[in-house]
Structure 1
Amino acid sequence: MYEYKVVTFREALIGDALDSDKLEKVLNKHAEDGWALKDITSGEVKGRIGPGAVDGLLITFERPRQG
């Protein structure tokens, strides 16, 4: 069995280019914790402030379930 984790990745301002260095850090951080990249999907990601959404990524990780 596997467990899954979904992480949102978005830039702070609309129109910003995707920062590949930041994305790489997110991927490597989760890999250190045993997570493997399963999928990356682009779409609108809702922010923490306000009703609007901006383009972003939904990053899905998986790892074998422990126990």
Structure 2
Amino acid sequence: MYEYKCVELRSKMFGGALSGDKLERVLNEWAAKGWQLKSTAAVDVKGRIGPGGTDGLLITFERQKG
């Protein structure tokens, strides 16, 4: 059995630019918790305040239930 975790990364969370180094840091943080990258998708992520959105990534991780 597996479980999944979806994480939204907004470009604004990283000062307007999502670089490879910043993405690598996020991936390594989740890997340290036992999660393995399953997929990524570019998305328009809705903001918490107001109708606007921002570019971002939806990252899906997978790990065995244990």
RMSD: 1.5
Any unmatched runs of 5+ in structure 1?
Answer: none
Identical aligned residues as a percent: 59
Any unmatched runs of 5+ in structure 2?
Answer: none
Aligned match of 1:19: 19
Instruction: Report the Cα distance in structure 1 between the residues aligned to 2:29 and 2:38, rounded to whole angstroms.
Output: 15
Shift of 1:46: 1.2
Give aligned pairs, total: 64
Superposition pairs of residues 8-47 of structure 1, within 5 angstroms: 8-12=8-12, 16-47=16-47
Which of structure 1's runs of 4+ aligned residues deviate more than 3 A?
none
1:12 counterpart SS class? helix
| TM-score normalised to structure 1 length | 0.85
Shift of 1:59: 0.2
